[in-house]
Structure 1
């Protein structure tokens, strides 16, 4: 098991993984990801910005996570717990449905949190869908603090909850 940067040659495999996740979410009546998100262009941009990581076992990509310093425009109005200075943002955490429930998302989050500490970020910020109770519990068990709601109209009419975990102040 290893976590490494995604290469552009992995784009189709990564896109297929996210489509499988979107289908699985929809089947479970969680309308978080859809035909618009995450798009192949979003994933390609993640790769080009060198901010997408993959979890690989036996040469198979099981999961991904995007780690970035770029604050999405939707986050601008959020009252975060730390200053907007040295923050790491997590996006597109995904584990293929065939491998969910086996601790792989925990491994990706452990990697992200260790990465953030090693690079002296003050906090980690993310959002998750308000109708995805499992994700909310996942982050809250990891000591992420639920803050305000934001909206991504192309994804859902329902809000997304912002979370932050303070590492240094």
Structure 2
């Protein structure tokens, strides 16, 4: 089941993203670190109603942030659609014990269905340039690469921006 996260669940969500960060680092993907994702980001996500969790038998195994707020880092990207009503996806995570079982697909299916229901023009996101698996995942879903940005506190490498046109 996918539902909005509760404030009391932020600790569990942080544990999932930390476990993901450890696994990525083991695979030489330096996308997440001690500074990101952080509790402040998830507190903001929960308070704005943008953090969703994926549960299996009442256990949280994953999360996704679906926001209408455009981060300033995206301002210089040449998106395929004009700025209007968009969803911005952040902090998609599935606990490593549950990865490669289609759960990330379920989270993205949920976000895309929500976008259709709410007449959103497109879904925009970024993924780490060194994370080839994520890039293939989004391209296979029909997302188009639109540019690249940098988050120096996360990595010296860039992040690629992608967009899926909904309407």
TM-score (norm 1): 0.98
Cross-structure match for 1:89: 88
**What corresponds to 2:36 in structure 1?**
37
1:56, distance to aligned residue in structure 2 (A):
0.3
Report the Cα distance in structure 1 between the residues aligned to 2:37 and 2:118, rounded to whole angstroms: 27
Counterpart in the other structure of 1:52: 51
Q: Please list every run of 5 or more consecutive structure 2 residues that lacks an aligned counterpart in the other structure.
A: none
User: What is the SS of the residue equivalent to 1:88?
Assistant: strand
**Runs of at least 4 residues off by over 4 Å:** none
Aligned to 2:141: 142
What CA distance in whole angstroms lies between the structure 1 residues aligned with 2:26 and 2:41? 23
Structure 1 counterpart of 2:73:
74
- Counterpart in 2 of 1:151? 150
- Report the alpha carbon displacement of residue 59 of structure 1 after superposing the two structures with TM: 1.1
Matched residue of 1:143: which SS?
coil
Q: Where do 5+ consecutive residues of structure 1 fail to align?
A: none
Cα separation, 1, equivalents of 2:46 and 2:22: 23
TM-score (norm 2): 0.99
Give the match's secondary structure for 1:101. Answer: coil
**How far, CA to CA, are the matches of 2:43 and 2:133 in structure 1?**
28
Please give the alpha-carbon distance, in whole angstroms, between the structure 2 residues aligned to 1:45 and 1:158: 26
